Chains A and B, each alone.
Chain A
């Protein structure tokens, strides 16, 4: 689409629709119309005049208000506050001056530790470690007892299992030996066997195979 198609000539300025108006009128609906008719409620803002207030006057009143609030928030005079702090410092100095350094709580505890013999400290540590070791040993002894019991239980179970397997093996061996002896006790197939017997045996095998397939 070309510009000429919009209906504007190159020298003609179009109104910026995004430009805000800063004129002195307070009627925001002054230029609003609906199909050429001005809206009726725009008349409400006619006759309203803005106040011409000085900026310096506004700042002065703001500072005065802040000072008033600050003065009301201080409940104690500054002279009394300074006096109280000075008394506190004086009391602390008097206490420190009249008190022996070795009587101070922290220094006293340090002196007690330093006066203790190093051998006694070692004994105390040794006793503590010994007690700890005894406790662990007692725990481990209970653990070892439980493990040995578990092992004994498993051993008993395995012994029963071995007995069962042995019985099963004995049973299988007995059946197998019986089967082998039964086979060997029958007619042995050798080259000395007659052709008639071999034929009969072969026919018997064929019959057994057919019965097996049928079953």
Chain B
């Protein structure tokens, strides 16, 4: 259990009186690239909030990196949905990425030299070092997404969590993005949250399907019938000849 990146056992959580997720159990071994899929309203964001320690579950056990979520936070790199941001905020790409150093740098005054080194590394890892001084509002969707990943990498995470990284990103940028994640997966565990089952299954090791309750599939077992039962109605999904 201490080797697990994420350990959930019988987790139930929600808002007010309605449970959004119920009796969810999940074991994510280190080094895994996990896809978390499900229909909108199926509880993906709620589960994410529980794992990040932003929402206290009603019942069940949660541990992340062998610790409570709140204690594990500093080692988690979180990439939120980029559509939530005001594009007009006066901040450069470099300054956005730097905020990933909070919690690791000194608490007062500016950042340190070591922070600069980590930020430079994060910017070049995702391939936006040439855009570092640009205002964040001038980036394209794919570039913005990469800047947010660089910010998460600046946290020097052991676990990277991405919420709908392919929304608002054109298809070409999408496959580049997953190539980058496959690369990063050599160093850290990755969870990608998506409502797009078809695309994700070509890259991840395992797919966790969440629609109030959670069912895990290896990518090979993800047949159209399984997807249909998850969504409750037929969906058009491409069947991948995925590796086993």
Decide whether A and B are members of one complex.
no
Could you tell me which B residues sit within 8 Å of A by CB distance?
Answer: none
Could you tell me which A residues sit within 8 Å of B by CB distance?
Answer: none
